[in-house]
Amino acid sequence: MSGNDDLFSHAMRGVRKLQSEPHHQANKPRPQSRGTTEVEHPSSAGLEGLRPEKSEEPWVLKADGISQERLRQLTNGRPPVDMEVDLHGMTREEALAALDHCMQRALTEHHRVLCLVHGRGLHSQDGRPVLKESVYRWLAEGPFAGHVLAAIPKPGTRGGSCLVLLRRKR
């Protein structure tokens, strides 16, 4: 058992715990503090037709109306990154659960830019970037896809992380 514990500890090295909301009793309505809102599922928020699509460039997603100039600004740090999530060492299922939590928090706190560190897949058994592929697929097709305007590789990471531009809250 200690061998598995060592492997787990090694895999989780550098992973930061996401801040979670306090637990509430199921029979009581969740109180909402001023300035935060509960995020609706994209389909109920009228965003179902606004999902980003793959572009001609590899590992780039962008919604209609996002220009190359806007992507260039994003790579130059405008707007700046509001939240970074490191998914290294997680399984696909753990990473997608962390993304779900991260996106819920980002939308609640009105963040515009996320940095998702997924790695390049150098340690994957089949040599394919499992987390990277899963993250981009989730951004394009997942439950929060309607909130994603663009996703591009973060400069200087050699494809190991991406920047995600979120829609402004209306």
pLDDT over threshold 60, residue 24: no
Selection from 128, 60, 142, 61 nearest residue 96 by Cα: 142
pLDDT over threshold 80, residue 90: yes
Q: Are 114 and 106 in contact (CB under 8 A)?
A: yes
pTM of the model: 0.67
pLDDT in tens, 40-87: 444 334 555 466 766 566 789 999 999 999 999 999 999 999 999 999
Which sequence spans correspond to the domains of the chain? 56-170
- By mean pLDDT, which of 24-28, 97-101, 135-139 is the weakest? 24-28
Selection from 137, 146, 139, 168 nearest residue 41 by Cα: 146
Pick the more confident residue, 60 or 5.
60
CATH code of domain 56-170: 3.30.1370.110
CA separation for the pair 7, 91 (Å, rounded) = 13
Pick the more confident residue, 8 or 25.
8
Tokens coding 3:
């061998």
Distance of CA 53 to the CA centre of its chain: 16
Q: Which residues 6+ apart lie within 8 Å of 92 measured at CB? A: 130, 131, 134
Q: What is the pLDDT of residue 46?
A: 52
pLDDT over threshold 70, residue 32: no
Tokens coding 104:
């819920």
pLDDT over threshold 60, residue 35: no
Q: What is the pLDDT of residue 17?
A: 60
pLDDT in tens, 100-157: 999 999 999 999 999 999 987 666 667 677 899 999 999 999 999 999 999 999 999 8
Residue type, 115: C
Confidence label for 19 from pLDDT (cuts 50, 70 and 90): low
Selection from 103, 96, 83 nearest residue 133 by Cα: 96
